Amino acid sequence: MADNTQKVAIIGSGNIGRSWALLFSSAGFRVCLYDNNPAQLSNVIDHLKGQLDALVTKGLSRGDLSAEQQLQNVTLSNDLATCVKDAVFVMECVSEILDVKLAVFKLADDNLSDGAIMASSTSSMLPSVLSVDLNHRDHFLVAHPTNPPFFARAVELVPAPWTSADVMKRSRDLMVRLGQAPIVMKKEIPGFVLNRMQFAIFSESWRLVRDGIVDVDGLNKAVWSGLGARYAFLGPFEVGHLNATGIEGYLKTYGPMMYRLQSSMGETGPIGGQLAQDIQDALVVHTPLNALNERRRWREMRMAALAKLKQDMDRLDEQEAKEGKVDLLPSDH
């Protein structure tokens, strides 16, 4: 059961900040949502209410609280110091501009409660760069969510060299409590884990379209109808493990081909320019720029439904295991 006397501070009320607000409030936390722009704050509650109503209507909301209870957990603030005070967790989600983030963390650092944790939602900055000059730098980490954050469970937890093991552990436990899937990294690296894998797949997609092997539609389809249907449930090592008799056997068969192909893939060259425009021309046939928001909602509803599907199937497996009908495989998928 969530402890609703605990307070978290969310700094920045854009899409990421609003998603964190929903996640923390649905788990029963008191959320203080800060923004220095009054215009930005003015429509937050209406926007959250709209999102919650849509989720409830589709049977896809999280946790046991009503939409109203979740909204009551959220307060807005234009005073960062007050917002941070007494918070057990401070989550920064301001613009990806180094100086802006450094200023936020300086102020948070000066007002941080004993033992509280500071995290950045950044996708592009290393925790060591963001925290090197902080007094509480051992209480700092990056907690990078996946877009859209309320609908994808992955959160990368990235330590700076000086982040304490206890802070990593507590952050991990907190993410589990929110229903997220924490990926605990052991060291920082540019792009973290998820974007490095995404960029690897994107680079090869770029080369295949550039070289006229397949068109944009075909490339996308290879992922959503093939690779992605497996990756929705299993990671790359697990796929190999199942596609042969264990990963070792898989790599004995495919490792040399993989190495040969990967070594021959060559340079993408700078990614942008004419080909970027050609790809956009192909994509807007299905999703014109003025339909992006609609398609984003389409994606959110499908990802939420996938999360629910997984949960339902896991529960059914547990039930059948109890009744002795099947053996239960250990899994938190």
User: Which residues within the stretch 137-176 sit at the binding site for a copy of itself (CB under 8 A)?
Assistant: 146-147, 151-154, 156
Specify which residues 30 forms β-bridges with. 7
Is the CB of 165 or the CB of 285 nearer to a copy of itself?
A: 285
Task: Restricting to residues 178-237, name those near a copy of itself by CB under 8 A.
Answer: 181, 183-187, 189-191, 193-205, 208, 211-216, 218-237
- Identified binder of a copy of itself from the candidate list 72, 280, 311, 319, rule CB under 8 A: 280
Is the CB of 147 or the CB of 319 nearer to a copy of itself?
A: 147
Told to check if 128 binds a copy of itself by CB under 8 A, we report no
Told to check if 81 binds a copy of itself by CB under 8 A, we report no
Evaluate whether 127 touches 142 at the Cβ level (below 8 Å). yes
Told to check if 327 binds a copy of itself by CB under 8 A, we report yes
Instruction: Tell me, residue by residue from 283 to 322, as one string, x for binding to a copy of itself by CB under 8 A and - for no binding.
Output: xxxxx-x-xx-xxx-xx-xxx-xxx-xx--x---x-----
Told to check if 265 binds a copy of itself by CB under 8 A, we report yes
Told to check if 126 binds a copy of itself by CB under 8 A, we report no
Shortest approach of a copy of itself to residue 320 CB, angstroms?
A: 11
Can you tell me which residue has the tokens 């998928």? 333
Shortest approach of a copy of itself to residue 240 CB, angstroms?
A: 7
Q: How far is CA 60 from CA 1, 55, 66, in A?
A: 20, 5, 12
Task: Restricting to residues 44-73, name those near a copy of itself by CB under 8 A.
Answer: none
Q: CA 58 to CA 48: how far, in whole Å?
A: 16
Evaluate whether 91 touches 20 at the Cβ level (below 8 Å). yes
How big is the chain, counted in residues? 333
Is the CB of 92 or the CB of 156 nearer to a copy of itself?
A: 156
Rounded to 10°, the helix 15-26/44-57 angle is 60
Q: How far is CA 189 from CA 102, 117, 147, 171, 229, in A?
A: 19, 21, 20, 19, 28
First to last CA, the chain: 22
Shortest approach of a copy of itself to residue 61 CB, angstroms?
A: 17
Q: How far is CA 299 from CA 62, 146, 264, 268, in A?
A: 17, 13, 35, 29
Q: CA 308 to CA 54: how far, in whole Å?
A: 15
Which part of the chain contacts a copy of itself (CB under 8 A), choosing from 43-51, 66-74, 161-169, 323-331?
Answer: 323-331
Is the CB of 138 or the CB of 204 nearer to a copy of itself?
A: 204
Q: CA 203 to CA 272: how far, in whole Å?
A: 11
Instruction: Tell me, residue by residue from 85 to 124, as one string, x for binding to a copy of itself by CB under 8 A and - for no binding.
Output: ---------------------------------------x
